[in-house]
Structure 1
């Protein structure tokens, strides 16, 4: 019944077209058969035909091509159907692992010739896709598309956990691992795991000793490009990060952020052993060694170990005799900058440490602490063997080891 109604409707529309064709004066009318043929071709091209197996709608021409996905070539491995045998052949390489297109520069192989063509641009340096906003060029069209978002500000990929948006889907995927805690890239040298391959690759340089980034000023090498960039500021003197509280400037953004916590009082890193908090993870890591007793930095000369690398560096100057800091007022030299500064107060007369109870001033903080005990009545740490006085209990404890060595072993006789 519906087919009859469809034919009746087509006949009525055809008569209207024929009438339109004959009303134009001076124009030779088309034959009825030719008019009908043209009309039906245009009308049916616009009509939608439904695919019975899947319910999708297509024009007559596209339906024929679509039906081949149901009746055409099919992968025996995964069941995916293709309209052409050549497409199935390419798809099967995913299952077989076949990569017939090899790069003659580095030997890397690819499934498709188009992938090899894109890869070759790494070697040729070709960048055919140019940004019309800043003229930056790219080797792949997809890279240009992502770059354009820096101009438009578009960030279409949003994290549903925290609302943060990203220009690239892959960046969002990596970000999500912060929330999930997923670290799918393990190091085969140690027990550490990482959220993305790039971080693992950088970490592996700890084991291999590889430092691919070299400073062209002093020859020092680095594992990361960002570290080299930060180092270059030593040579240029550039310090782009300025504190708006005290005016202090920094070459490294991380150091600047940590410094700002002095003013804000923020201490986001708590110790899980005691109630202390710290402004940076590095400070927390150092502090944890107080609880664990770990001293990872060992002197190769005498075997003494230290909690911090800078303490070891300071200690090594005892063995080397190095005294890089010289006084501008006399010929005296010092191994530590702090010792030089303290010494220079002899020449300048500077006394920066003031007693809060009597206004007396001192050139050394240790001298101030000793003086304050006059007011508090506190007895300083004193050696019960030789009577030597110390400003701190820890200094006394170190000193006591001298007497422990001097004492004869129990049972030893003269």
Structure 2
């Protein structure tokens, strides 16, 4: 009769909880005593109640006597079937009075209410962390004990929860029973489907009280709150780096142990994250399901599309407090902040060079390993990064989708267009602290700083000459190899670099797009125009420390310094005579090979005073001194 009267005469002396039956009190007392009288004969696991053992035995027997009449799914407990049936009838009779959220079980509502009350009665004796449910504490305790009783029979991987094992088994079976009614995408878990559905509904019920940002999952909000609290409870035992999620720490540990458990079935390449493998697989199948409605560009991730859309909207919500520069992503802001702090925590073990991002270090390591995993299907050229391959592919396709609104010039990359736009705006945000010179790119400033520091980390193994850029070393190496892969289709002349070929092609086309505003003279390259402008301004910023002579170009100063150093790196293979310029050596070689590129009838440099013609501009210049009264 105590069931109907709500009388609870049996009270626990340890916690004060009351029960209507003495058997229930007895069962409850085992929580405090830790006594587990009922043991499983198959695996040795112990239980506090015989009913729990009976339920557990079904795992070994595989018995699932309770079947759903709607979808045919079977369960080992009637209560689990009852709970499952609510998916079909969508019955949620238990409603939260604080936020209005509904649940299909009273226990779920009770658990949910602790979010509003902040109550966490179950505390871990090892680390002090508190939980709102005893089941969560039990699961957490396995981190300390290392217990993983549920083992996968296919790959041997172990788990601390049967639900995690069940979820893992779908990787092997390929089963995805939960399907989205809007787009047809399937999922392993109902919770993932629920999360996915918010993409279609746009629902974001969980709001951050600090910054107002909204989320579609309470777990995402909880994770986000750690940014404001700067909470990072999970530390790496190898390097001391801390994380706000145990899963992030687990992923990070793979950097130290080199574990790459996810392998591509098409090419055999291995990855340390399943998401990275998934992204990689799209290279083989070419799948890009997320399309931009504005420009038609497609992406293989919704996050990539979201990021791309900010190009059209111009939105840059993450602002640097030091210089005011804004960014699309928080990760880019974080990376940018290291410019101000000078922090470079990631060091290369091979050459000692430090980096501000682990990804940059990873990329750099490929230089030492000579790893170039991304190959061009058209010409076979390999690249370190997929972005490098993507950029290279535009050479074959001729695609240049990014057009300058000021001059109409087109580019194959949005970043190149952005860089080009600075020519028109005159923007040079990166300033050298040593000489005050400004640059439009941080990489150009970094390169320039090496002039002051004298740093030349890239050394030629053939002649020992050092360079401040790997690209300059690569270009230099062609002198030794004799390689000239870029050939002019008009005259057959070959070049070391594509930029030199491009510059050469203007000789045939006659194009000179860069015009001097003072005298109207046109030039092939912007650098030549810049050099020419110093004639009008009289500016000579590069001064020789030995004789005081000034020059309008750093390259001219460099050449001049060879006079003082008596440096003559260019030697004639026929007579051994040395020169300080490659162009002078080239002219000298004509003595030996008898080459005369300009015959008497083709002396294009003519004196306007006396009519004499010359085959070199320098000879005409020297001749003009006679008329000017200079010897």
Which TM-score tier does this pair reach, normalised by the shorter chain? 0.5 to 0.7
- 1:279-325 per-residue CA deviation (whole Å, 9 max, x = no partner) reads 22222222222232222333233222222333223222212222334
- 1:31-83 per-residue CA deviation (whole Å, 9 max, x = no partner) reads xx97856753543453323455666665437666555545556987568999x
Q: Which residue number in structure 1 is paired with residue 228 of structure 2?
A: 151
Q: Which residue number in structure 2 is paired with residue 131 of structure 1?
A: 208
- For the 8 Å contact 1:239–1:251, the answer to whether it is kept is yes
Instruction: Give the counterpart of 1:203 among 389, 397, 421.
Output: 389
Q: Tell me the secondary structure at the aligned position of residue 98 of structure 1.
A: coil
Cα pair distance change 1:400/1:340, threshold 3 Å: same
- For the 8 Å contact 2:27–2:48, the answer to whether it is kept is no
**1:116, distance to aligned residue in structure 2 (A):** 3.6
Q: Which residue number in structure 1 is paired with residue 33 of structure 2?
A: 47
C-alpha RMSD of the superposition: 5.7
Say which is worse superposed, 284-293 or 167-176, in terms of deviation: 167-176
Q: Tell me the secondary structure at the aligned position of residue 506 of structure 2.
A: helix
Residue 292 (structure 1) aligned with residue 481 (structure 2) = yes
Q: Tell me the secondary structure at the aligned position of residue 503 of structure 2.
A: helix
Instruction: Give the counterpart of 2:522 among 329, 333, 338.
Output: 333
Instruction: Give the counterpart of 1:172 among 238, 247, 252.
Output: 252
- For the 8 Å contact 2:382–2:389, the answer to whether it is kept is no
Cα pair distance change 1:376/1:47, threshold 3 Å: closer
CA–CA distance in 1 between the matches of 2:562 and 2:158?
88
Q: Which residue number in structure 2 is paired with residue 254 of structure 1?
A: 443
Give the alignment of 1:2-21 within 5 angstroms: none
Q: Tell me the secondary structure at the aligned position of residue 49 of structure 1.
A: coil
Q: How many residues align?
A: 365
Cα pair distance change 1:34/1:173, threshold 3 Å: closer
Q: Which residue number in structure 1 is paired with residue 138 of structure 2?
A: none
Cα pair distance change 1:352/1:160, threshold 3 Å: same
CA–CA distance in 2 between the matches of 1:16 and 1:352?
90
- For the 8 Å contact 2:544–2:557, the answer to whether it is kept is no
Q: Tell me the secondary structure at the aligned position of residue 594 of structure 2.
A: helix
Give the alignment of 1:228-239 within 5 angstroms: 239=428
Cα pair distance change 1:125/1:393, threshold 3 Å: same
Cα pair distance change 1:240/1:377, threshold 3 Å: closer
Say which is worse superposed, 306-315 or 176-185, in terms of deviation: 176-185
Q: Which residue number in structure 2 is paired with residue 410 of structure 1?
A: none
- For the 8 Å contact 2:429–2:440, the answer to whether it is kept is yes
Largest Rg, 1 or 2: 1
- 1:168-194 per-residue CA deviation (whole Å, 9 max, x = no partner) reads 348736855647969796658347476
CA–CA distance in 2 between the matches of 1:377 and 1:212?
47
- For the 8 Å contact 1:138–1:144, the answer to whether it is kept is yes
- For the 8 Å contact 2:234–2:249, the answer to whether it is kept is yes
- For the 8 Å contact 2:375–2:381, the answer to whether it is kept is yes
- For the 8 Å contact 1:73–1:81, the answer to whether it is kept is no
**1:237, distance to aligned residue in structure 2 (A):** 5.5
- For the 8 Å contact 1:69–1:81, the answer to whether it is kept is no
Q: Which residue number in structure 1 is paired with residue 297 of structure 2?
A: none
CA–CA distance in 2 between the matches of 1:184 and 1:58?
56
- For the 8 Å contact 2:391–2:412, the answer to whether it is kept is no
Cα pair distance change 1:300/1:107, threshold 3 Å: farther
Residue 275 (structure 1) aligned with residue 460 (structure 2) = no
- For the 8 Å contact 1:267–1:277, the answer to whether it is kept is yes
Q: Which residue number in structure 2 is paired with residue 9 of structure 1?
A: none
Q: Which residue number in structure 2 is paired with residue 302 of structure 1?
A: 491
Give the alignment of 1:76-115 within 5 angstroms: 93-103=170-180, 108-115=185-192
Q: Which residue number in structure 2 is paired with residue 324 of structure 1?
A: 513
CA–CA distance in 2 between the matches of 1:96 and 1:280?
50
Give the alignment of 1:51-90 within 5 angstroms: 51=39, 59-60=48-49, 65-66=55-56, 68-70=58-60, 72=62
Q: Tell me the secondary structure at the aligned position of residue 255 of structure 1.
A: helix
CA–CA distance in 2 between the matches of 1:156 and 1:294?
55
Instruction: Give the counterpart of 1:242 among 412, 431, 439.
Output: 431
- For the 8 Å contact 2:178–2:193, the answer to whether it is kept is yes
- 1:238-257 per-residue CA deviation (whole Å, 9 max, x = no partner) reads 54433332333344333333
- 1:215-245 per-residue CA deviation (whole Å, 9 max, x = no partner) reads 785685555x766766666676554433332
- For the 8 Å contact 2:372–2:382, the answer to whether it is kept is no
- 1:85-114 per-residue CA deviation (whole Å, 9 max, x = no partner) reads 999987654333233445566654433444
Q: Which residue number in structure 2 is paired with residue 27 of structure 1?
A: none
- For the 8 Å contact 1:157–1:172, the answer to whether it is kept is no
- For the 8 Å contact 1:48–1:58, the answer to whether it is kept is no
CA–CA distance in 2 between the matches of 1:15 and 1:136?
47
Say which is worse superposed, 321-330 or 201-210, in terms of deviation: 201-210
Cα pair distance change 1:80/1:106, threshold 3 Å: same
**1:341, distance to aligned residue in structure 2 (A):** 5.5
Say which is worse superposed, 345-354 or 324-333, in terms of deviation: 345-354
CA–CA distance in 2 between the matches of 1:369 and 1:163?
50
CA–CA distance in 2 between the matches of 1:378 and 1:254?
30
Report which structure shows greater RCO (CA 8 Å, sep ≥6). 1
